[in-house]
Structure 1
Amino acid sequence: MERVRDVTELPKAHLHLHFTGSMRPATLLELADKHGVRLPDALTDALSGGHSPKLRATDERGWFRFQRLYDAARSCLREPEDIQRLVREAAEEDLRDGSGWLEIQVDPTSYAPRLGGLIPALEIILDAVDTTVRETGLGMRVLVAANRMKHPLDARTLARLAVRYADRGVVGFGLSNDERRGMARDFDRAFAIARDGGLLSAPHGGELTGPASVRDCLDDLAADRIGHGVRAAEDPRLLKRLADRQITCEVCPASNVALGVYEKPQDVPLRTLFDAGVPLALGADDPLLFGSRLAAQYEIARRYHGFTDAELAELARQSVRGSAAPEDIKAKLLSGVDAWIGAVPPGED
């Protein structure tokens, strides 16, 4: 049997990780106890038992249930030290999985009521990232994301704030939550503000809705990256457009299955996207709720889609190229990928 290389040792970038969703299950349970928060039974039963809650968000009721669990977890983040702990632990998990660069996605308005307001909330988050970078050595930045369930004017306010803090570690602007709600074009002004301020455009699209939502992100929001984007596989012309323009899709295989977008890991169109030349950046999305972190996404590509070590190395390169990392960090990570694929797998020497 052919020996394979350890994917946790493959240098890579992580471009799709949500803030609360990055939390360790044990941390959530401890914070809930600390603050006297009663979490939903569906969450505590699953996490206490060492497994993920049962989720399916392909209908609005299912999405509401998913969002309820996420909101309950977020309500446990109440003090600056909670934020610091989350960021530090997210970095530690990423380092364990071979990540050399992490762009963590957050809507600071969700944390503002408990952290003294919108600006203090973002500053607390950015301070936590600064401290974590110094202490762990992981390259880490923030992608500020608007909520498409809220008014587009709120997104403009958030875009201006994100630009204001571009020199403090904000590198991109996103659009999250249920993509079946709100049109991408409603948020075009917010994204124009972000792009004019030098931020990457990285909205969600092509997960719960079809290829049209990916096209809308390209046409209306001038996306540099697409959060998810897997449904583009249903449209060959769109695949070619993404490949020709080298628009990176942040694909999160485990969450696609957990949310019911695809029935089984082998149904996620990783191979279709990869073979079409669409750059991919595998991501964990919300490991708190989906149960698997970054390296596990590479294992899915290997186990269910037949990706060779050379192809996994190319996936890692694509994640690095699609990131907002400085050129020297990109070069270091890409060199590390070459070293990983150049090394002899265990048992073959």
Structure 2
Amino acid sequence: MEARTVPARPTHEGSVARGAARPDTALLPKAHLHLHFTGSMRHSTLVELARLRGVHLPDALVEDWPPRLHATDERGWFRFQRLYDIARSVLQTPDDLRRLLRETAEDEAAEGSGWLEIQVDPSGYAARFGGLTPTVELVLDAAREASAATGVGIGLVIAANRTRHPLDAKTLARLAVGYAGRGVVGFGLSNDERRGRAYDFEGAFRIARRGGLLSDPHGGELLGPASVRECLETLGADRIGHGVRAVEDPRLLEAIANRGVTLEVCPASNVGLGVAPTAADVPVRALRDAGVPIALGADDPLLFGSRLARQYDLVRTEHGFTDAELADLARQSINGSAAPGDVRARLLAGIDAWLAG
């Protein structure tokens, strides 16, 4: 990839002088820990597959893309989920899933991501691909192919839907454990946190943790600190998807920092869903100052219009992070991952080289 330089903005102590060139964040080695399967699809692929499969796309996914979203009320979340479901409906053959993962891995490589943990709820595809187990095996096989083609390591986080019954989550947890060490690295919990308390899914996460999987639930996005605390205390979270509302409770922040739980912070997504008015209002600096490990994520580029490097650019421009601080964020993403030791060592060495210029 040809290197580009980014104009500097003088902010915090240690930043470069006004007008000096700063290194490209797409060349900074990093891990991507918060990316959803359907939401990772390229917009061009969505449009092409919709045409081939005869799926009508609303204007929000064509002429008006990326859509204007605001999910802090139930109507807004329903619209977000409807667009997501429409996008998922274009994935109708095994080759469609293989293409999605191959293109996603290509995009990750272009963004500097050497390790990806992609989250999927196989229940959303099971009816089309022969059941839960065949769906997981298809996704894992596609991930292996994509990794071999691009050099990007890929782990799978199987996620339960918090709007469904907790018994469904236990089924998925047992399924995930069956593939621990064979491509599945974690167990998650996603969808609207206002419609299913983390507490209700403790049994599923107990199964996953006993099976050696990372605990990686969503929390603290649409609800406040209590949602984050349930993920931390009840689900034994190793990482928490989003978690930004934890800044409203200093004692909770201290607990997260002391336990070394990584928060997967997604600036563009937080703005897109109305969690924060602007990228400058996403509390990245406050979380870092509290000692909380952070892994920046893109969440659903298909709906929010930006991928991983853009999140680092936003933190640089809107929060005044120096290059050394950006490098530290990249290290935290790797340290919070399930990447094998050799991958970690390679990426960490690459971060040092990026910082050295």
Q: CA deviation at 1:180?
A: 0.7
Give the equivalent residue in structure 2 for 1:74.
88
3-state SS of paired residue (1:233): helix
How large is the Cα RMSD of the aligned pairs? 0.7
How far 1:233 moved relative to its partner? 1.0
Does the residue aligned with 1:150 lie in a helix, a strand or coil? coil
Helix, strand or coil at the partner of 1:31: helix
C-alpha distance after superposition, 1:153-173 (max 9, x if no partner): 000000000011113200000
Higher relative helix content = 1
2:327 corresponds to 1:309? no
Query: Which of these residues, 16, 25, 30, is aligned with residue 12 of structure 1?
Result: 30
- 1:68-147 aligned within 5 A: 68-147=82-161
Give per-residue Cα distances to partners, 1:3-52, cap 9 Å, x unaligned.
211111100000000000000001001111111111223222223xxxx1
CA distance in 1, matches of 2:60, 2:36: 20
Matched, 1:226 2:244: no
1:327 to 2:341 alignment: yes
Instruction: Give the Cα separation in 2 of the matches to 1:32 and 1:111.
Output: 17
1:302-349 CA deviation, whole Å, 9 max, x = no partner? 000000000000000000000000112111111111111111xxxxxx
Deviations 1:224-275 (A, max 9, x none): 0000010111111111111111100000000000000010110000000011
Residue 311 of structure 2: aligned partner = 297
Whole-angstrom distance in 2 between the partners of 1:222 and 1:168: 23
1:269 aligns with 2:283: yes
Code of the residue aligned with 1:45 in structure 2: it is: E
Q: Secondary structure at the match of 2:193?
A: coil
- 1:281 corresponds to which of 295, 299, 313: 295
Q: Which amino acid aligns with 2:312?
A: Y
- Secondary structure in 2 aligned to 1:204? strand
Give the AA of the match of 2:69: L
Report the equivalent of 2:353. Answer: 339
Query: When the two structures are superposed, what TM-score results if normalisation uses the length of structure 2?
Result: 0.94
Residue 339 of structure 2 aligns to a residue in which SS?
coil
Q: Specify the SS of the correspondent of 2:294.
A: coil
**Separation in structure 1 between the aligned mates of residue 228 and residue 202 of structure 2, nearest angstrom:** 14
Matched residue type, 1:27? T
> What whole-Å deviation, never above 9, does each CA across 1:176-234 have from its counterpart, x for those lacking one?
00011111111000000000000000000000000110000011100000000101111
Which residue in the other structure is 2:6 paired with? none
Q: Distance in 2 between matches of 1:98 and 1:167?
A: 25
Give secondary structure in 2 for the equivalent of 1:77. coil
Q: What is the distance in 2 between the residues matched to 1:44 and 1:272? A: 37
Partner of 1:347: none
Structure 2 alignment gaps of length 5 or more = 1-18
Does residue 179 of structure 1 match 2:197? no
- Tell me the alpha carbon deviations over residues 117-164 of structure 1, each in whole angstroms, 9 at most, x when there is no partner: 111111110110011111111111100000000000000000000011
